[in-house]
Structure 1
């Protein structure tokens, strides 16, 4: 039996922090393929390209990568490279700009036009929404927003609007595919 410890976002993909595998898998590649098959449909995407996988505490990149052979009683740890989650209210400053990240309950009053109405009413604010399930952690959000603010200052935005630039920079996460 192989024991799989899931950490960070991997826990959210499987709604558990531990899987005991009764099926025989020979390599990490087979293990990942099997995990994709058994992942519950109503959970977050399991990003197989951005994982740190350890076998008995040893990073597979120091072994044979996804071809690393597995044995019974191996303990596998799977850690997304970017992991975590937050629904709390977060406040910080970047480039003399005050930033606040907070959770908004999505109800009937919150519709697509609502953001445009807010943006028109408060033109001095930059307003963007990101599904809180895909907000990784404060450090990552701060880094994304810092990049976007620097790009705006230097006229190097990825798009015409900073709000779109922010979304594009979150594209390295699974957020953009759900936007």
Structure 2
């Protein structure tokens, strides 16, 4: 039996970024601490979980691949939430209806719309990973991320890309697709 009152933790639970990935330093303000990356030793005076997650996902060259991909997914999910919250509310096609898109099978309006474009966008992150995004573009210029892949360990990238494209075509329906394009923002002249 304990003689004193039990201490109850208040506030938000610590983010995943603090579990074995960041070293928590001194308290800077109530509930906010300095941080040091446990892989590359970069220091932040005030360790904000969003900034620390982005560091592990995109910038830390000493972070293990599985950790980097895990935080890339968290960063992507946070960006999707921010876009959803800041979306224009007076869309004429879908008034007052917000549906979180989790995959093409849940794509709202997908049954009614057609003339989609599939866009492929590939790049290399600072850690040397070959990343590819597969995006569905609608005639109303909306973009939906269908898939994000790390193809670094895939030795036959072209074969794998064709398989993923074929899977997407099967999900969306070949009659609804008008084009497949490769986006190249950095390498194409005139693009910014």
The TM-score with structure 1 as length reference comes to: 0.21
Larger RCO of the pair (alpha carbons < 8 Å, separation 6+): 1
Q: Which has the higher helix share?
A: 1
Q: Which has the higher strand share?
A: 2
| Bigger Rg over Cα | 2
